[in-house]
Amino acid sequence: MDYFEINGSKTLNGVVEVGGAKNAVLPLMAATILNKGKLRISNVPTLSDSITMSKLLEEMGVEVKFESDNSIFVDSSKLDTPFAPYDLVKTMRASFYVLGPLLARFGKAKVSLPGGCAWGPRPVDFHLEGLKALGVKISIENGYVVADGSNLTGNKIHFPKISVGATGNVVMVAILAKGRTTITNAASEPEIQQLCEMLNSMGANISGIGSNILTIEGVSSLNSISNISVIPDRIEAGTFLIAAAAIGGEVEVTNIIPEHLDSVINCLQKANIQLEVKDSSIVVRSKKEDILSTNIETNEYPGFPTDLQAQWMMLMCLAKGNSTIKENIYYDRFTHIMELNRLGCNIKLEDSVAIIEGDRKLIGADVMSTDIRASAALIIAALCASGTTKISRIYHIDRGYDNIEKKLTNIGAEIFRKK
């Protein structure tokens, strides 16, 4: 199994370019199921998750070609099997995104339930309740969701908690249901905005995009579009901003949409990190000794993203004074604490609040990745630590970061992938 060996205590300097968003490309790829189209998706990050989604589509009869310029060509005209097997769904929960479009196109689908996750139970009840409200009959058989949606009808749906995945799945059905659907407490994440905009360009009628109320007038069919470019990954961008802030130096993070990072920019500025926000990039200038402790809470967009919680925790270990992080999305998403503590951090957990002691001196050690973003926090920690750190199980990071070691090496880090 590959691992990273990292020599710490170097500063970062230079330019790092952000790729397309993992959490946008996956629903966009799933949406190609909706009709018999041929679509080129550009700015696609090379991630194991995009490859898993392509394998899943191929299993169903979709043709997917990865091209050399970070684009993929998807031809869904021969899709004939509305079935998503456990083997693929268990490796990537976002596979569940195929349920909605399969139902909308075929009126039926059989999709494996995703199962558990390192952060806790992560149920799919909102997806299923939302689909039932649109007239879908659902049963659970041998670990699979068996869904029959031959008579889809619009309805009023209120999600008990904002859910990115449930919003995406339900929208992809509602666009082809008879009549109007109103979704309240809908997700407004930029990745969901891009999905809705893509669906509208295919002939759907969704209004309220970017707010928490979506109104969808059902249409009888969709047309094809030929091109779409994936929005920049705000989580990859935030990871590099926090890394540069923690490690020190001057780094320009390019190819981003700064508005998507407003909450992160705001928190970094409160932590006394110098930022220059330009049209499509941000320059970070940081000295470790200037970082101030700042309490945060994770929240749905436009709040501080849970996907940057682990990286922020690492930054706060270097700040002057103690701080807290309240995790409001995934109450158990704290597996990184024990690993960060192995590197010399001192973080305690009380309910879903992490209490972080600042001004820690980190020392390299052997640590283990537990999920995509926890791995990113460990890389940042290793780059701040004295000596050498070995991070194992880096297959987690390959799910969400395209060539992170190359991007970091280009700005002065010493990080090596080894077997």
**In angstroms, rounded to a whole number, what is the distance separating the alpha carbons of residues 317 and 321?**
9
* Minimum CB distance to ligand UD1 smaller for 59 or for 332: 332
Kindly state the number of chain residues that form the binding site for ligand UD1, as judged by CB under 6 A: 20
Question: Does 194 interact with ligand UD1 (rule: CB under 6 A)?
Answer: no
What is the nearest approach in angstroms of ligand UD1 to the Cβ of residue 127?
Answer: 5
Q: Which of 16, 26, 41, 345 binds ligand UD1 (CB under 6 A)?
A: 26
What is the nearest approach in angstroms of ligand UD1 to the Cβ of residue 187?
Answer: 6
Stretch that binds ligand UD1, among 120-128, 199-207, 260-268, 282-290 (CB under 6 A): 120-128
Question: Does 260 interact with ligand UD1 (rule: CB under 6 A)?
Answer: no
What is the nearest approach in angstroms of ligand UD1 to the Cβ of residue 126?
Answer: 3
Question: Does 163 interact with ligand UD1 (rule: CB under 6 A)?
Answer: yes
* Minimum CB distance to ligand UD1 smaller for 10 or for 333: 333
Stretch that binds ligand UD1, among 117-125, 177-185, 208-216, 313-321 (CB under 6 A): 117-125
* Minimum CB distance to ligand UD1 smaller for 330 or for 334: 330
Task: Annotate each residue in 69-108 with x if it binds ligand UD1 (CB under 6 A) or - if it does not, as one string.
Answer: ------------------------xx--------------
- Which residues in the 317-336 window bind ligand UD1 by CB under 6 A? 329-330
Question: Does 10 interact with ligand UD1 (rule: CB under 6 A)?
Answer: no
Stretch that binds ligand UD1, among 135-143, 161-169, 270-278, 390-398 (CB under 6 A): 161-169
What is the nearest approach in angstroms of ligand UD1 to the Cβ of residue 26?
Answer: 5
Q: Is 196 a catalytic residue?
A: no
Question: Does 401 interact with ligand UD1 (rule: CB under 6 A)?
Answer: no
Question: Does 307 interact with ligand UD1 (rule: CB under 6 A)?
Answer: yes
* Minimum CB distance to ligand UD1 smaller for 26 or for 147: 26
Question: Does 31 interact with ligand UD1 (rule: CB under 6 A)?
Answer: no
Q: Which of 123, 143, 179, 321 binds ligand UD1 (CB under 6 A)?
A: 123
Q: Which residue has the tokens 């949606």?
A: 149
Structure-token pair, residue 212? 């928490």
What is the nearest approach in angstroms of ligand UD1 to the Cβ of residue 118?
Answer: 12
Task: Spell out the long-range contacts of 46-49 with Cβ–Cβ below 8 A and sequence spacing 24 or more.
Answer: 46/19, 46/70, 46/402, 46/403, 47/22, 47/398, 47/399, 47/400, 47/401, 47/402, 48/395, 48/398, 48/399, 49/22, 49/92, 49/94, 49/399, 49/400
Taking CB atoms, the residue at the shortest distance from ligand UD1 is 165
Question: Does 263 interact with ligand UD1 (rule: CB under 6 A)?
Answer: no
Question: Does 124 interact with ligand UD1 (rule: CB under 6 A)?
Answer: yes
Contact 101, 172 (CB under 8 A): yes
Q: Which residues of this chain interact with ligand UD1, rule CB under 6 A?
A: 23, 26, 93-94, 122-127, 161, 163-166, 191, 306-307, 329-330
Give the residue numbers annotated as catalytic, written as ranges. Answer: 117
